[in-house]
Amino acid sequence: MKWLYIYGVDGLSVSGGGTIDGSGQQWWASTCKRRKTPPCYSGPRPKTVHFEACRGVSVQGVTLQNGQQFHLTFTRCSDVRASFLRVIAPADSPNTDGVHLNDSSHVQITDNLISTGDDCVSMVGNCSEVRVKDISCGPGHGISIGSLGKNRTTDMVENVRVDTCLLTNTTNGVRIKSWQGGMGFARDLRFESIVMKNVSNPIIIDQYYCDQPTPCANQTRAVEVRRVGFADIRGTSATAQAISIACSDAVPCRDLELKNVNLTLEGGGGGGQATASCYRAFGKSAGAVVPPSCLAKPNAS
């Protein structure tokens, strides 16, 4: 379901100082994430502005607010620019991602203010050559790659750079998430020059993602996570665990790097310190890393 739907158009520019209001309040109230007892609605909701199979498109200077679901989405698009946007929805509005990519390449998402109830920026399978820069994010769920590999699918994400961002009061920071049983890869990803302010779970790699009411079964396959760097990331964590890297037994994470990371516990009261946790995660650290790196050396595998 799409509200404003642009299909197969090349060279389109959407710009100006106007506002596109998705009027999502009634949709949010009826969803199962809000309404815990039947009847509730779990089906699809309209995306506010959706581009599909487009090339050379740009969206600039527009305000998007109160989307029923995702605010701005690109599917099977290339040569995309989304910049100088304001995306606004309440912190408890379900699935109101700011900018979402699917099967798209050569994308620039820059100079945006995003405050929503879900990911500020998200991308799923078959995205490549993506730059996310100068994003002010919060509240929201942070900046996410994934989820990948759901229902044993093959997903590929590569050559993504996220830098010069400010995350404030978000429930996650920068995150890579994949389901067990999938295939493909997430590789050559770089997160750098990022400031976190009172962010829960600032750095996450989760190859055991399971967003369903019943436990997910263990699987022997996984999306490969490789050549991922976190550099020059500083700020405060709202949770004791500032770094969480949980990788697959079958396909461990390799060639990871933590460089010049300084994440302290918000408030710092009681002498508590932020911690790091790693499982089947191999790589190296450089410079000062706080909390201390938990990455295993490559030859430890």
- Per-residue pLDDT band for 42 (boundaries 50, 70, 90) equals confident
**Which value, to the nearest 10 degrees, does the dihedral of the CA atoms of residues 15, 75, 127, 197 take?**
50
Which residue's structure tokens are 């909390």?
A: 291
- Per-residue pLDDT band for 301 (boundaries 50, 70, 90) equals low
Indicate the CATH number for domain 119-301: 2.160.20.10
pLDDT tens for each residue of 68-110: 999 999 999 999 999 999 999 999 999 999 999 999 999 999 9
Average pLDDT for residues 154-168, to the nearest whole number? 99
Q: Which fold has domain 1-113?
A: Pectate Lyase C-like (2.160.20)
Whether 119-301 and 1-113 are alike in CATH topology: the answer is yes
Residues annotated catalytic, as ranges: 141
More reliable by pLDDT, 28 or 119: 119
Query: Could you tell me the residue ranges of all domains in the chain?
Result: 1-113, 119-301
Average pLDDT for residues 185-211, to the nearest whole number? 97
pLDDT at res. 270: 54
Average pLDDT for residues 149-172, to the nearest whole number? 98
Tokens representing 61 are 């200077």
pLDDT tens for each residue of 239-268: 999 999 999 999 999 999 999 999 999 986
